[in-house]
Structure 1
Amino acid sequence: MASLIRRQECPVNVDHNGWALQDFDDTQVPVLFPEGFEGGTFLTGHPGRLDFYSAGHTHTASLTVEIWDGEPAVPAGEWDEEALAIIVCSSGKLRARGMAAGPMPEAIELSDGPGVWAVRVVCTGRDAVFAQTQQGVVHGAERYIAQFWPNA
């Protein structure tokens, strides 16, 4: 049974319906976000980054990152979206990035060094954030949980 190693929560600035988790060491990412962003696809993996299509245009989403020692169970609850991907991370850290807002200051620690990670991402609040962002900028309506574990 998989064990949780650590959990980290951070806000994510979403703009133009997009955001990404990208290797903290940008020099190891062949194509930097937002180049190649595919609107309409919930989760898309690229070398060194994971792109997310949000249901809201401009808002602050809530992101919980969990690091596990093996594949965990899907988080309890009802989810609007669920997807799996693989990411190669040369630095052992990721950084969230908005389309226009750029990188967020907080590092997301995966490990002490390079690795290949599987990730499951679930999301809720997509209908609410779509409706609310029609009226203005909102905070925390769309919630993501990203579960990372070493890819065997």
Structure 2
Amino acid sequence: MAQLLRQQQLDVFVGYHAFGLQESDDAVLDLLFPDEFDFGAFLSTRPGRLDITSAGHTHTAVLTAEMWDGPAPTQEAAAWAEQAEADFESVSGQVAVWSMSLGRSEDLITLSDTGGSWHVRLCSSGRAAVEALGESEESIKGVERYLAQFWPARS
């Protein structure tokens, strides 16, 4: 049974219905966030990049990132509005959080001390609620939530 190695919780600023998780050492990437972002998919990938489409236009979502030593436990489908899985390459073991409108945040997700190949499962909840609040003049924070579970691809 896989063991949870680390968990981080971050506030993620969503702008224009989007945010991304990108290899921290962006000098090794050919295509930087948000170039060629696919707004038609909940989760899309580019080398060293995970592009995430939100249900809300402008708000602060909560992202919980988990690092596992093997395949993370499957999530109950009923608990999440969206789920998707992808592969992710990191040369540094660090992942930067990007906003469509604010650029790179100071927050980093630590996958490991070195680079490697990872598998990630991304889940999202609160999508209908954040979409309904889209016309609100109030600051929207924590309505939409994400869980990103990473584990080594060799597992």
The equivalent of 2:91 in structure 1 is 90
The equivalent of 1:144 in structure 2 is 146
In structure 2, distance between residues paired with 1:133 and 1:29: 33
Equivalent residues of 1:69, 1:149 under 8 A apart: yes
After TM superposition, give the deviation of residue 75 of structure 1 in Å.
3.4
In structure 1, distance between residues paired with 2:20 and 2:74: 21
5 Å matches for 1:71-110? Answer: 71-76=71-76, 78-110=79-111
5 Å matches for 1:2-151? Answer: 2-76=2-76, 78-136=79-137, 137-151=139-153
Structure 1 letter corresponding to 2:101: A
The farther-off stretch of 49-58 and 73-82 is 73-82
Identity %: 44
In structure 2, distance between residues paired with 1:64 and 1:74: 16
In structure 2, distance between residues paired with 1:43 and 1:25: 21
Equivalent residues of 1:30, 1:48 under 8 A apart: no
In structure 2, distance between residues paired with 1:10 and 1:39: 23
Which SS does the other structure have where 1:133 is aligned? helix
TM-score, normalised via structure 1 length: 0.97
Q: Deviations over 1:73-129 (max 9, x none)?
A: 123561100000001001100011001210110111000111000000111000000
In structure 2, distance between residues paired with 1:27 and 1:121: 25
Which SS does the other structure have where 2:129 is aligned? helix
For structure 1, the 5+ residue unaligned runs are none
The farther-off stretch of 134-143 and 49-58 is 134-143
In structure 1, distance between residues paired with 2:130 and 2:40: 15
TM-score, normalised via structure 2 length: 0.95
Structure 2 letter corresponding to 1:145: L
